[in-house]
């Protein structure tokens, strides 16, 4: 899109679109900062894919949705989400007439929102731009989504220097790229204040013990998330058997796994891990409870992208059970360890990390590679200082 600009962005209408919990988490501090600045007209649009999970996050940050597209339906596919989102976003854009549409990350919601903006000749601002694994099927479909968005985006708010380098190497103009840090750090630092409050923390702990019927924290606790679409099938089952072997090898540890509700995940999880006594399977947790577990666990095992960023704030090492990661900053910083699905590598890393923690080893000797918690303010300042045609 054209880089010729002749009027300030202040006073422009910005539509901020999200559909999943991670998007809402990372966009909420941006929404707060834009509203506090007072120089912009803000429309908050939710596609409604993760309705209950979204409500939890929006309540934490006191964010109200102006337009709910109500896309949630059982067993929806990528085809459903893509087609339905485009049609309903068209109506929302025509209704609100934004001059900028802001999206976050690499979800199908983010991609279709950017595409709808492009079709309607509305400028696109991409928060957390420039992440790359350079493998279109790991993660799937996220790697393709973020590349698509980059082609359309006018304002690329990248979390790190690595992300900026990726975009420049792909031929995007440096003038459209702004290193801000990751807004998830902004969000987490707000929430951490609550979790660090002794009274609040004790309330969460008591609630866990009541629901689970046991003292979850009487043993070392390993927090697990595992849900990536590209792992569905035999690879996921192999990973679950590896986790079962770990639980058998370490009976004095508790392993807790909030299980994604997708049948491709929950069915094999129940089959393979459901009878293991020290493996605690729960429904998906609200964000505060999940972060509380992160703050109290021994360490983390996950195939999530966002958790690789979040765990730094709580100083928790992470085993990343993926073949590649778009968050190599975490690997270089020394607190994240890429294992793929290889059983022997996972078992070896588990033993190594466990031993180092017990010996007092510090995995967090560098500054947070994802920023200082001021990314949202930088985004607002960039908008205020820029001009637009």
Residue 31 CA to residue 38 CA, distance in Å, equals 11
H or E segment and range at residue 338: strand 336-338
Handedness of CA 239, 130, 127, 154 (dihedral sign): negative
Instruction: Report the Cα–Cα distance between both ends of the chain, in Å, rounded.
Output: 11
Q: Give the DSSP per-residue string, 11-72.
A: T-EEEEEE-SHHHHHHHHHHHHHHHHH-SSEEEEEE--TTHHHHHHHHHHHT---SEE----
Query: Could you tell me how many residues make up the chain?
Result: 389
Helix axes of 198-212 and 183-196: crossing angle, nearest 10 degrees:
90
Instruction: Return left, alpha or beta for 70; rule: phi > 0 is left, psi -120 to 50 is alpha, else beta.
Output: left
Any idea which residues carry the catalytic annotation? 106, 128, 142, 227, 229, 260
Q: Give the DSSP per-residue string, 164-209.
A: HHHHHHTT--GGGEEE---HHHHHHHHHHHHHHSHHHHHHHHHHHH
Q: Give the DSSP per-residue string, 243-300.
A: HHHHHHH-TTEEEEEE--S-HHHHHHHHHHHTT-TTEEEEPPPPHHHHHHHHHHSSEE
């Amino acid at each position: 899109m054209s880089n010729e600009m002749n009027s300030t962005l202040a006073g422009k209408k910005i539509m901020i679109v999200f559909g999943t919990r991670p998007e809402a988490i990372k966009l909420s501090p941006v929404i707060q900062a834009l509203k506090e600045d007072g120089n912009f007209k803000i429309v908050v649009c939710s596609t409604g894919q993760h309705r209950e999970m979204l409500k939890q996050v929006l309540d934490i940050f006191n964010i109200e949705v102006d337009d709910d597209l109500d896309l949630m339906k059982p067993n929806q596919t990528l085809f459903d989400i893509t087609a339905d989102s485009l049609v309903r976003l068209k109506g929302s854009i025509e209704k609100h007439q934004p001059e900028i549409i802001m999206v976050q990350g690499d979800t199908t919601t983010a991609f279709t929102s950017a595409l709808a903006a492009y079709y309607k000749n509305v400028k696109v601002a991409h928060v957390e731009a420039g992440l790359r694994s350079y493998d279109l099927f790991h993660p799937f479909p996220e790697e393709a989504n973020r590349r698509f968005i980059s082609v359309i985006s006018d304002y690329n708010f990248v979390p790190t220097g690595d992300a900026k380098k990726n975009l420049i190497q792909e031929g995007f103009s440096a003038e459209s790229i702004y290193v801000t840090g990751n807004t998830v750090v902004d969000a987490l630092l707000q929430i951490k204040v609550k979790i660090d409050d002794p009274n609040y923390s004790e309330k969460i702990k008591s609630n866990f013990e009541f629901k689970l019927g046991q003292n979850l924290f009487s043993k070392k606790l390993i927090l697990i998330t595992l849900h990536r679409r590209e792992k569905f099938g035999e690879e996921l089952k192999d990973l679950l058997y590896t986790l079962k072997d770990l639980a058998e090898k370490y009976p004095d540890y508790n392993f807790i796994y909030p299980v994604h509700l997708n049948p491709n995940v929950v069915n094999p999880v129940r089959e393979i891990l459901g009878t293991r006594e020290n493996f605690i399977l729960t429904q998906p947790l609200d964000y505060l409870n999940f972060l509380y577990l992160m703050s109290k666990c021994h360490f983390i095992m996950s195939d999530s992208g966002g958790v690789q960023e979040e765990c730094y704030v709580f100083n928790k090492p992470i085993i990343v059970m993926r073949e590649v990661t778009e968050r190599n900053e975490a690997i270089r910083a020394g607190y994240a360890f890429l294992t793929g699905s290889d059983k022997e590598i996972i078992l070896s890393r588990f033993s190594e990390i466990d031993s180092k923690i017990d010996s007092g080893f510090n995995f967090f000797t560098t500054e947070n590679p994802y920023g200082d918690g001021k990314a949202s303010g930088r985004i607002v300042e960039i908008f205020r200082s820029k001009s637009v045609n």
